[in-house]
Amino acid sequence: MSQKISRRKAFRHVTATALAASAASSLLAADDDHPKLHGRVNHSVCKWCYGKIPLEEMCLAAKRIGLESVELLTVDTFPTLKKHDLACAMVSGVPGGITDGLNRLENHDKIVEFFEQTCPIVAKAGYPNIICFSGNRRGMDDQQGIENCAVGLKRIAPIAEKHKVTVCMELLNSKVDHHDYMCDHTAWGVELVKKVGSERFKLLYDIYHMQIMEGDVIRTIRTSHSYIGHYHTGGVPDRHEIDETQELYYPAVMKAILATGFKGFVAQEFIPRNPDALASLEKGVRICDV
């Protein structure tokens, strides 16, 4: 038996349904503001690019965006990272920094001591990598630099192997940002990795730096991926956002990295021009989330 519905009741029903649908749409829209990442790339970010943002705030933003790591931090930051269930995919703090590195024999003792102290802490935290540097040439022949770096790294490698932590030497450009830096070409770094001969020593391939020095990024990734333990991004020419304003097409670069079977981290390392720096970070992550 059918029941007649008054116009007023019908109007109320339609209005209630519309309001419910609107509320549901609003909730979905809120969720869509930060849709989940695809899960094929392990995303990280280099904290130094966001120096004005406190680490606590940076960690909250990283979790919201879907990052797994905030990196280039020292061991004293680990409690804050742990609080937010984040990794430090590349630990920093090596004595001498970029300019005074492993190509000088006189630097070896203090650098080896750093790794003796730091590797157990990094391993206990469950983090994968610690950065190191070649140092500047200062007139040194490239081959001599390889020989000297290998001497130091062969002292460090057993420590890294014992604790299952990978030491990564960063490839940097000597043309624009780090004049006279020695590890400035992939071929030099690959030769060093071969000479050290440890699965716990690899290269940090900074895409920005190597685009400046040698280009041919995708071919290099394909041919040298077994010597690479970590990647950094950055817009060329000025290390800003990795969007349509710069010369590299990062989705293609990322697909090339994944095609090698890489399971490590890729870290955003660009300096945002956008006043909303975290919005730029999220856009960069999504560009790379192929």
CATH value at residue 264:
3.20.20.150
202, exposed or middle or buried, with CB in 10 Å at 0-12, 13-18, 19+? buried
**What letter represents residue 144's amino acid?**
Q
Instruction: Report the pLDDT averaged over residues 2-29.
Output: 37
Residue 238 and residue 156 share a domain: yes
Residue 86 and residue 115 share a domain: yes
Range scoring the smallest mean pLDDT among 4-8, 106-110, 125-129: 4-8
Q: Give pLDDT, residue 34.
A: 65
**What letter represents residue 115's amino acid?**
F
The secondary element (H helix, E strand) that includes residue 113 is helix 108-125
Instruction: Report the pLDDT averaged over residues 114-130.
Output: 98
Q: Does pLDDT of 225 surpass 60?
A: yes
Q: DSSP secondary-structure letter at 171?
A: P
- Structural domains of the chain, count: 2
**Per-residue pLDDT tens digits for 152-168:** 999 999 999 999 999 99
Residue 27 and residue 52 share a domain: no
Residue 43 and residue 19 share a domain: no
Closest CA to 286 of 255, 251, 244: 251
Residue 81 and residue 10 share a domain: no
Residue 106 and residue 3 share a domain: no
Residue 5 and residue 60 share a domain: no
Instruction: Report the pLDDT averaged over residues 134-160.
Output: 98
Q: How many Å apart are CA 215 and CA 247, to the nearest integer? A: 11
Residue 140 and residue 59 share a domain: yes
103, exposed or middle or buried, with CB in 10 Å at 0-12, 13-18, 19+? buried
More confident residue, 120 or 9: 120
**Per-residue pLDDT tens digits for 237-288:** 999 999 999 999 999 999 999 999 999 999 999 999 999 999 999 999 999 9
230, exposed or middle or buried, with CB in 10 Å at 0-12, 13-18, 19+? buried
- Note the pTM of the prediction, 2 decimals: 0.88
Residue 59 and residue 21 share a domain: no
Instruction: Report the pLDDT averaged over residues 83-105.
Output: 98
Q: Give pLDDT, residue 178.
A: 98
Q: Does pLDDT of 17 surpass 50?
A: no
Q: How many Å apart are CA 71 and CA 128, to the nearest integer? A: 11
Q: Does pLDDT of 10 surpass 90?
A: no
Residue 268 and residue 156 share a domain: yes
Residue 59 and residue 8 share a domain: no
Q: Which domain holds residue 130?
A: 37-288
Q: Give pLDDT, residue 18.
A: 38
Residue 181 and residue 144 share a domain: yes
Q: How many Å apart are CA 245 and CA 236, to the nearest integer? A: 9
